[in-house]
Structures are given as C-alpha cells and as structure tokens.
C-alpha cells in the first residue's frame, strides 16, 4: 500500500515553520502550505499570486514568499 501524502512515513517539513521562503518558477503555482509540508497541523491551502510582483504573503500564517530565478538559492 502506498503512503498517503502528509503521513509520518514521509520525510516532509513542518508546515508554516519558517516565515520566509524562496520559491522558483518551477514551483509555481504557489500555495501555502507548499507541497512537501505536513498538512495535518496547518491552515487551509491557499494559492498565492506571486508572478507579477515576485513577492507574496500568506493571509493565514503571514509567511513571506520571494520568487527567484536561480535554481541553487
């Protein structure tokens, strides 16, 4: 049986643990919490418009997202 998303069997990062995140264009569309984060202890998923200004802030947790073109940042 395959592991379900967000279970303890996966190596995910805690949701909303940081307040600043860098995202790449390949990560778009941007949502908070992002894929790869546990969902059980987080707020509802919200999609954030970041393409136009390069920055977005989550209305739930206040996490700030910055769009970068560099793959290694």
Say whether pLDDT at 33 is over 70: yes
Three state DSSP letters for 30-72: EEECCCCECCCCCCCCEEECCCCCCEEECCCCCCEEEEECCCC
pTM value is 0.70
- Name the band, by pLDDT with cuts 50, 70 and 90, for residue 23: very high
In the prediction, which pLDDT does 18 show? 67
pLDDT of 51: 93
């Amino acid at each position: 049986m395959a592991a379900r998303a967000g279970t303890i069997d996966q190596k995910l990062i805690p949701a909303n643990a940081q307040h600043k995140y860098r995202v790449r264009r390949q990560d778009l569309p941007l949502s908070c919490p992002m894929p790869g984060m546990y969902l059980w202890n987080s707020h509802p998923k919200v999609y954030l418009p970041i393409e136009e200004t390069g920055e977005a802030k989550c209305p739930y947790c206040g996490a700030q997202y910055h769009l970068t073109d560099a793959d290694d940042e």
